[in-house]
Amino acid sequence: MSTAYQRFFDENGWEIEHYFRTVYHLFKHVKDQSVEIDATPAQRKRYYDLIKSQLSQYELVLLWFNVEGLNRGNWDSIRSDPEAKPFEHLNKANLVENPPDIPVGEVDDSTSLK
């Protein structure tokens, strides 16, 4: 799958790369600034949940591929934060057993993640 994602990113990265950077910096801001404002773990979790609530299942899958492949090291500190859990709603059941429906006509063979 990483080869398929790499091909997808090579062809479409210019359209989505800024989006991945924005999501990363939102998570990073919560992690870094929570110390300065003395946020409790519950408050940090609430801020992280607000970010995650804006991500569709499709965006979450693409973000997961991006983090697992191209940008794994950048996300390590965020993924280790017990309140962040950026992919808590994305598990094997979501990806394998219940993949999202893709409307007919919205996928072409050159960018599909087969």
Encode burial over 40-53: b for 16+ CB neighbours within 10 A, e otherwise.
eeeebbebbeeebe
Q: Tell me whether residue 114 is in a domain.
A: no
Q: Tell me whether residue 104 is in a domain.
A: no
pLDDT higher than threshold 60 for residue 50:
yes
pLDDT higher than threshold 50 for residue 47:
yes
Neighbours of 64 (CB within 10 A): 16
Question: What are the pLDDT digits (tens) for 97-113?
Answer: 555 555 555 545 544 44
Q: Tell me whether residue 89 is in a domain.
A: yes
Number of domains in the chain: 1
Q: Tell me whether residue 30 is in a domain.
A: yes
pTM of structure: 0.70
CB–CB of 28/3 below 8 Å? no
Range of the structural domain that residue 43 is part of: 2-97
